[in-house]
Structure 1
Amino acid sequence: MKEAGITKDTPDPHHGKIERDENGEATGLLRESAKDLVYHIMPPYSFEEFYEGLQLVLDECIRLGLTSIHASMVSPTEFKAMQALKRERKLGIRVAVHLSGRDEGMVEGAIAAGIETPFGDEWLKITEAEWVFDTSTSGRTAAYYEPYVGEPENTGILLYDQDDIEKRVLMTHKAGIRVGLDGVGDRGIDRSLDAIEKALKAYPRDDHRHRIEHCCYVTPAIQDRLLKLDVIDASATGFLHDLGDAYKANRGAEAMKYMWPHRTLIDRGIPAPGHSDASICDANPWLAIYSMVTRKTSSGDVLYAAEGVEPVEAIKAYSIDGAYAAWEEDIKGTVEVGKLADLVVVDRDPLSIKHDDLNKVTTLMTVIDGKIAYKR
């Protein structure tokens, strides 16, 4: 804090907050854009550091039984490392890249180059440009219409002005690049859908597959808008397991009725692939699948059991729906003739075991492109 020059007199930045004690002194907790006050004095990861670390992360994903991942907010350095691993035949796992809207010039450069999504091959493919517009319910910054429990003045923070995010979405959509906006609270999701709706009205396009990333608090009104606009609910199912207790504490038990409401989403025909947002949550998909079925958090608390789904439906969210969300349903998502030879062998039948044992499912073998990538 001293190195960054943050003092009692430092004002809160736009779209951020410096937490302070009763004397007005900064406590060290920086929320959302306030983090930028210290980021500028932190040395960035080098290409070499990310290249080495990425291999470790991808190896862990393969060990967990993942054959494809969607990589969020990929910076230029990170994308270069992915390309280097691919050239050297070390990538090992299939990656759908979300270009980082936070890295100024990255999306604009892709547009200037004439890139449209999806762009790439079955190993490394640009599938969207993503902006972190809304943020964290567990951190009490996600944007809601109603205030947080115990904080009547706090309804969260959006990280862009509305006219700014609308210009970015319009520019990207017009260029033929799919848009992903992080929307967590109902206000954040609605403002994200407002931007997408304006872009679609200006430049109508079928099968755009724009996404709301995380899309946690999905009220009936938001469900209607997702259907009307044909937007994918890229659901943060991993949050239910790892962060569900914090969500309940911060938003109240009644709000859990519309938090990741997968039973309703499936019944209404809203595409809702699951994800972990690793390293925010554990990358193990079976923890999220367990919670989608049982509606249990890591502590065992049940968050509105009526929104639980069947095991096969939860598995579909991590296979068929994930493939659809990357325009890859013709080559992956199911094991059948003519599709990529990617599959996983697990230690028990997830369709016949007790639902409470789904979090114990373990990967015995991961096969990618017809080759054994991991064997226990």
Structure 2
Amino acid sequence: MQSLEDRYINAGLRNPDLIEAALALAENRLHDAEPLLKRHLKADPFDVAAMRMLAELAGRIGRYRDSENLLRRALELAPGFTAARSNLALVLYRQNRTSEALEMLDALLEFDPAHSANSNLKAAALGRLGDYQEAIALYEKVLSDVPGQPKIWMSYGHVLKTVGRLDESIAAYRRALEIAPMLGEVWWSLANLKTIRFDEHDISAMENALNTPRLKSEDKLHLHFALGKAFEELKQPDASFEHYNAGNMLRRAMQDHDPETTSRQVERAKASFTSAFFARHRKTGHLAVDPVFIVGMPRAGSTLIEQILSSHSMIEGTSELADIPALAARIGARGQGIEAIEAAELKSMG
């Protein structure tokens, strides 16, 4: 008997609106895809394939709560919709709910151990939780099975860099570029290592990549930043600033910045984190004297302080944690006080 999701997916193959929406998603024309999907779901609110597509769209623009709600609704209607479950694991990971994502990924990989995308996401989640050796082992297994995946080579390079295996990290990045020389994030990852200098061949390869037809904006901006770094090291400031400026203009166009939303979030944070809140939590936290937490506003130098401290042989730098920004974003987005957030999270922990 055909499942609910199979019926809707097969129907979607013949539905002009969904075909057009899928094409718009593939071309990143989100402003065209969204009204098509919403109109279709208004007419057929049980189409789980359309829900998944709209959830993907919401995730691309950072509306992770909306994406999660759509995916959970799709899974209520079609519990066997494994593609939607994979999407939900990714959305949980992007919300910094890594343990929840891992639990879902373990179940998915038990069902389909050869699913490279789920394995890749699990390795990234393990790395986020500090299980670097397990993450590296999983990346190596995935790459032995599917060696032609440039983004997995890039992710492998990231975790190798984190554990200090820089030569192997560079080799992984270079392998990714052999497969897909237009991947801007890989070029920027190399530039951001600050231990290598791009040669003429690298610069030519990046300039050629910028001319790739239909190149994604994300790749373009990273290529511009990497070229900005390359020309900066060559003492060519005009070319360097030209690329930095082009990259920043692309980045700004991709940012959905609403100053009023930011102001509201700040006001809610001020109302939540009161003297009474800190008094109530004065005995909480880690009692050992060993951990050092560096907290600061963006561009205030907190990363530099971490790098200076971690250069000492007896200090290990970990990584920048997203927990505090994620908590602040949840408080601001929900319009709730800290007490409501605490209660909800305690309930979720059992």
Q: Same fold (TM over 0.5)?
A: no
Higher RCO structure, 1 or 2 (CA under 8 Å, sep 6+): 1
Structure 1 or 2, whichever has the larger Rg, is 2
Q: Which has the higher helix share?
A: 2
* TM-score, length-scaled by structure 1: 0.29
* TM-score, length-scaled by structure 2: 0.30
